[in-house]
Amino acid sequence: MYVAEIIERCSNLANRTAGVYRALAQRFHGDHERQSLWRELALEEETHAAVLRRELDSFREQDHSGSYLPDYGERLHHLDTELRTLEQRAAAAQTLDDALAVAVALEQADLEDLYDDLVLQGEPAFKLLSERLEAALAGPPVATPAAGLAGRVRRPR
């Protein structure tokens, strides 16, 4: 699997993860604090997906697919299967405990480990991608068209 394909699949996984969080926010309609939690998590995933899409566009503009990394196909397939199961669990979630169990499972999924391993590969595109993800998440809140909402809510301390 080439770097560009890995980036594309990771972007899709991040979008789907955001969708799970958005679905959980819908479950708690009327409970502003709980909705805010799920929306915040969705926004973070949407930010990841947006950065990944921009990197993918950069590869496509250069007509370059990056290095071939054969070990990542199986890992991405496993993540896809795991996320499919969590999407179903989120759709069936009835209580806050159910929703939190899904969220914990999402956060413990191997997607973050995959990102870390890709950066350790030494591929310049992944190091740059990691830096851009960190910068995007550290930056000021922004409106995300996919979210249909304003950015992160920052409460005074």
d(CA 14, CA 16): 5
Query: Does residue 150 fall inside a structural domain?
Result: no
pLDDT tens, 79-96? Answer: 999 999 999 999 999 898
d(CA 146, CA 44): 12
Match 């413990």 to its residue by tokens.
108
Contact of 109 with 117, CB cutoff 8 Å: no
Query: Does residue 151 fall inside a structural domain?
Result: no
Number of domains in the chain: 1
Alpha-carbon distances, residue 113 vs 34, 98, 129 (angstroms): 27, 24, 15
Query: Does residue 68 fall inside a structural domain?
Result: yes
pLDDT score of 64: 78
- pLDDT grade for 51, boundaries at 50, 70 and 90: confident
d(CA 143, CA 145): 6
Query: Does residue 100 fall inside a structural domain?
Result: yes
Query: Does residue 153 fall inside a structural domain?
Result: no
Is 30 or 40 the better-scoring residue by pLDDT? 40
pLDDT, mean of residues 37-62:
88
Query: Does residue 144 fall inside a structural domain?
Result: no
Domain range for 52 is 3-138
Query: Does residue 129 fall inside a structural domain?
Result: yes
pLDDT score of 16: 96
Query: Does residue 50 fall inside a structural domain?
Result: yes
- pLDDT grade for 156, boundaries at 50, 70 and 90: very low
pTM: 0.75
